[in-house]
Amino acid sequence: MSKLQTKEKLVKEDILDLFQKGCKVDSNFNVGIEYERLPISVVTNRAVSYEGDFGVCNFLRAFAKSENWDYITDDYNIIGLKQEHDTITLEPGSQVELSVKPEKTIFDLKKKIDLLNKQMMPILDKFNIRLLEYGVSPLSTHKNISLIPKRRYKIMAQYLWGILSDVMMRETAGIQGTFDFKDEADAIRKFNIANKLTPFISAMFANSPIRGGVETGYKTFRALSWLNTDNDRCGFCGKMNEDFSFEKYIDNVLKCPMIFINREGMPVEIRGKINFEDFMKEGFSDFEAEIDDFKLHANLYFPEVRMRNFIEIRNHDCVSKDMIYAVLAIYKGILYSDNAMSEIEELFQDFSYTDFAELRYNVPKSALSAKIKGIKISNIAREILYIAEKSLIEMDTKEEKFLEPIKELTFDGVSPADIIIRNWNGIWSKNVNRLIKYLSR
């Protein structure tokens, strides 16, 4: 392993440069998606393991051979596949994540994901695996879902101290969207607006009320798990202030305790003994901070909205195929329009940071029935949809069509979880097999 180097110390300006390189002209703005699903056995309805003849690892091998994808490995273990800019990777509990190259329109993203799903389907069928579009494992729990053999995940599992961190890592699946900015001021404006939107969008798309075969009392148990993962690195970053900046975001990341670094392909565990700011000043053991250390550390920082050389919006349950693009459409309609952002700022002008923080804690249980300053958020969610739809219509890209499935629910004041709970306590007679059949449509 490398010892202290003679090269210049890493300084904040080096890190700032990473963010500033993300600035783009409006005409080059794209939308990206990361789309996680739960691998469930068609035979048992339980989570499919990484190992075994019909495990997820062998599914990846078969898909790579069939479609000419390359392996992504960790210590010689297959942990994903790649083909040009697209990846199929595994989350800690073998959840399957699709990440495709950002595109100009949501139609372009959908076309690529539809093709990938079509290519995967015959191989999934061969392995008796279905990829469930749901926020939390419906039957298996973390106690019987093994971690995949990725060294990073083992270290994270031992470090993260929240009482539901194992649930987050091994049981949950979500949708993340990525969006561009033109300069620092635009980035901070979008960052603040996205943070304020996330509790509302999480409520609209709540889709994880049944876990381990029982009703949990929460409409998005996935969101609850993030509330109980690690308060040092989760939640809102900053106070949604107009004077926020790249530097202030970086300062928050620098003060977060470190988990590990990599040297010559091997992890060096730090386990929270220092934060990155101290690592830059003093080093750790015989190691000095490098820019790749910061990139890794920033990737182990899990706020609701993450700033990179783009903006990554993170906390939404996985939902059905006809609804995943609605998540992107709402944010695109708002974040890629000055007028729409102004309307959202006006909509939220009477709410404080504390109001949004309290709402974040209330949404997992109540979803659209939660309140902010006494106002039921389903009413505000409808306004958010009106603003996003109007903006998308003005863009003349026809992407407003992606809002249709969520409009139908939100205008009725319900989330996907509300439909599941009604059926669970009604015609399904609390039968988890009926839930999985419903989710597999």
Residue 358 has pLDDT above 60, yes or no: yes
- Residue 5: predicted pLDDT: 46
| Nearest Cα residue to 31 out of 78, 92, 100, 88 | 100
Residue 71's beta-bridge partner residues? 81
- Residue 372: predicted pLDDT: 98
361/65 Cα distance (integer angstroms): 45
- Upper half-sphere CA count for residue 207 (Cβ side, 13 Å): 29
Residue 247 has pLDDT above 60, yes or no: yes
Residue 57 has pLDDT above 60, yes or no: yes
**Which residue segment(s) compose the domain that 171 sits in?**
12-256+301-439
277/279 Cα distance (integer angstroms): 5
CB 23 within 8 Å of CB 182: yes
- Residue 14: predicted pLDDT: 97
Cα–Cα separations (whole angstroms), residue 77 to 54, 61, 65, 70, 85: 16, 11, 16, 13, 21
Percent of the chain scoring above 70 in pLDDT: 98
Task: Please count the other Cβ atoms lying within 10 Å of the Cβ belonging to residue 169.
Answer: 21
32/162 Cα distance (integer angstroms): 29
Q: Which residue has the tokens 């009106």?
A: 386
pTM of the model: 0.96
Q: Is residue 295 part of a domain?
A: no
Q: Is residue 421 part of a domain?
A: yes
DSSP 8-state secondary structure symbol assigned to residue 77: E
| Nearest Cα residue to 289 out of 273, 278, 300 | 278
Q: Is residue 103 part of a domain?
A: yes
pLDDT for 302-351, tens place per residue? Answer: 999 999 999 999 999 999 988 999 999 999 999 999 999 999 999 999 99
| Three-class secondary structure assignment of the chain | CCCCCCCCCCCHHHHHHHHHCCECCHHHCCEEEEEEEEEEECCCCCECCCCCCCCHHHHHHHHHHHHCCEEEEECCEEEEEEECCEEEEECCCCCEEEEEEEECCHHHHHHHHHHHHHHHHHHHHHCCEEEECCCECCCCCHHHCCCCCCHHHHHHHHHCCCCCHHHHHHHECEEEEEECECCHHHHHHHHHHHHHHHHHHHHHCCCECEECCEECCCCEHHHHHHHCCCCCCEECCCCCCCCCCHHHHHHHHHCCECCEEEECCEEEECCCCCEHHHHHHHCECCECCCHHHHHHHHHCCEECEEECCCEEEEEEECCCHHHHHHHHHHHHHHHCCHHHHHHHHHHCCCCCHHHHHHHHHHHHHHHHHCEECCEEHHHHHHHHHHHHHHHHHHHCCCHHHHHHHHHHHHCCCCCHHHHHHHHHCCCCCCCHHHHHHHHCC
Q: Is residue 80 part of a domain?
A: yes
Residue 130 has pLDDT above 50, yes or no: yes
| Nearest Cα residue to 307 out of 12, 26, 19 | 19
Q: Is residue 293 part of a domain?
A: no
CB 410 within 8 Å of CB 378: yes
Q: How confident is the model at residue 7 (pLDDT cuts 50, 70, 90)?
A: low
Q: Is residue 272 part of a domain?
A: no
What is the CATH classification number for the domain harbouring 317?
3.30.590.20
What are the tokens at 138?
Answer: 């419906």
Host H or E run for residue 215: strand 214-215
pLDDT for 70-122, tens place per residue? Answer: 999 999 999 999 999 999 999 999 999 999 999 999 999 999 999 999 999 99
Classify residue 199 by burial, with Cβ atoms within 10 Å: 0-12, 13-18, 19+: buried
**Range 57-74 average pLDDT:** 98
- Residue 322: predicted pLDDT: 86
- Residue 4: predicted pLDDT: 45
Residue 190 has pLDDT above 50, yes or no: yes
Q: How many domains does the chain have?
A: 1
- Residue 8: predicted pLDDT: 82
Q: How confident is the model at residue 129 (pLDDT cuts 50, 70, 90)?
A: very high
Host H or E run for residue 223: helix 221-227
- Residue 2: predicted pLDDT: 44
Q: Is 238 helix (H, G, I), strand (E, B) or coil?
A: coil
Rounded to the nearest 10 degrees, the angle between the axes of helix 184-204 and helix 246-254 is 60
Q: How confident is the model at residue 288 (pLDDT cuts 50, 70, 90)?
A: very high
Instruction: For residue 236, give the amino acid letter.
Output: F
Q: How confident is the model at residue 381 (pLDDT cuts 50, 70, 90)?
A: very high
What are the tokens at 358?
Answer: 């309290």
